[in-house]
Structure 1
């Protein structure tokens, strides 16, 4: 377990959730940016009817 967030340097301990050496706030901000940049998560893809989506497993 790391002792501080590598982005905002907030001290992390057992009471502060951390993911990938980041506090949950920094992780969620970074994740949101990735989702916005992803063509698979574009608004047009998300609102398209399910029958027109290409599903791959």
Structure 2
């Protein structure tokens, strides 16, 4: 799963869906890790799982 800065990331949790923006790509191509900022201002470093969807930024 490849992503770029500005892409949106959708994480399907147990009873909720979290949507954030990728603000930094940290990992290598084979093992991506992203710094993600959520609308509430919280930032996390995460590696996507099978229940994660990357949505390219608008206009790309």
Could you say which TM-score interval applies, normalised by the shorter chain? Answer: under 0.3
Select the structure that is richer in helix. Answer: 1
Higher relative contact order (CA 8 A, sep 6+): 2
Please report the TM-score for the alignment, with normalisation by the length of structure 1: 0.22
Structure ID, larger Rg: 1
- TM-score, normalised relative to structure 2: 0.21
Larger strand fraction of residues: 2
